[in-house]
Amino acid sequence: PANAALGRVMSIGAIMGVMLKEKDEKVLININGHGPLGTVMAEARSNGDVRGFVGDNTVYLKYNDTNKLAVGLAVGTDGYLEVTKYLNLKNNFTSKVALKSGEIGDDFAYYFAVSEQVPSLVSVGVLVDVDYSTKSAGALIIQLMPGHTESDIAFIENLKLEPISKMVAKGPSLEVSLKELFPDFELLEKRAVRYHCDCSKERFMEGIMSIPKDDLLELLNDEVIEVKCEYCNKKYEITKKEMLEFINEHLEHR
């Protein structure tokens, strides 16, 4: 269920990313329930870019009774769901809640209710193919706005939702499904989301430059510094010469 867990977190992350108000804002989601999967991390930007990774992508667990992928067991429940929002005015907001089931959807519903004080219904799912590849992934977040009524709550509680991954797999007819669910459905905006990692050699060099001086000197003992992007697994080789030049250039510009 590694891709099921990652797909769920990234689907919700993508929505939370585009919910940010300004461009260049981002949200970082960090989940660790001390299950075999390890850390599940996703980073989403307001422009719809999302990237993520799991600690161990080889974990495979199923619930015996239902034969469903055991995301909750893989993620674990002894830990936290942590959300950090990087907002434009250089403010970071971090809040975390204890994991409820590790099934991700419930955990985010709890997060929205407790940390953002917005009662929310979160439906999230990943359709995993017979060859374990990911067929579709999607999330639906329904939030109660201030001024909602008892009948709004009742309406949402009585919604008969089919698995969101199945709705997404239908493609363009997703809007039809939404119209069936919500009679007064009105499409306000459509935004594209994509998996995209924006790592670069330069980014890594900036990162290396900001580590404590002693650690930096130790790194520079080697002729080549090898780094790997934990999101997309891309490898970069930075020579000592390149690194020193980069440091010189950037110190001058300060």
Among 197, 216, 220, 247, indicate the residue that binds Zn ion (CB under 5 A). 197
Among 80, 155, 231, 236, indicate the residue that binds Zn ion (CB under 5 A). 231
Q: Nearer to Zn ion by C-beta: 51 or 100? A: 51
Q: Which sign, positive or negative, has the C-alpha torsion 172, 174, 179, 180?
A: positive
Q: Nearer to Zn ion by C-beta: 155 or 231? A: 231
Instruction: Tell me the closest approach of the beta carbon of residue 57 to Zn ion, in angstroms.
Output: 15
Tell me which stretch binds Zn ion (CB under 5 A): 107-115, 179-187, 191-199, 245-253. Answer: 191-199
Instruction: Tell me the closest approach of the beta carbon of residue 96 to Zn ion, in angstroms.
Output: 25
Q: How many angstroms separate the CA atoms of 140 and 165, rounded?
A: 10
Number of residues in contact with Zn ion under rule CB under 5 A? 6
**Is 42:51 a contact under the CB 8 Å cutoff?**
yes
Question: Residue 51: which residues within 8 A CB-CB, separation 6 or more?
Answer: 10, 42, 43, 195, 196, 197, 198, 231, 232
Beta strand extents in 46-187 (DSSP E only): 49-54, 80-86, 92-98, 120-128, 134-143
**Is 40:6 a contact under the CB 8 Å cutoff?**
yes
Tell me which stretch binds Zn ion (CB under 5 A): 59-67, 144-152, 171-179, 230-238. Answer: 230-238
Among 10, 141, 199, 208, indicate the residue that binds Zn ion (CB under 5 A). 199
Radius of gyration of the chain (CA): 21
> 105: closest CA among 118, 120, 93?
120
Q: Nearer to Zn ion by C-beta: 44 or 99? A: 44
Instruction: Tell me the closest approach of the beta carbon of residue 55 to Zn ion, in angstroms.
Output: 16
Q: Nearer to Zn ion by C-beta: 148 or 234? A: 234
Question: Residue 160: which residues within 8 A CB-CB, separation 6 or more?
Answer: none
Q: Nearer to Zn ion by C-beta: 173 or 200? A: 200
Among 229, 236, 240, 247, indicate the residue that binds Zn ion (CB under 5 A). 229
- Determine, following the binding rule CB under 5 A, whether residue 236 of this chain makes contact with Zn ion: no
Q: Are strands 49-54 and 194-195 parallel, antiparallel or unpaired?
A: parallel
Contact residues for Zn ion (CB under 5 A)? Answer: 197, 199, 229, 231-232, 234
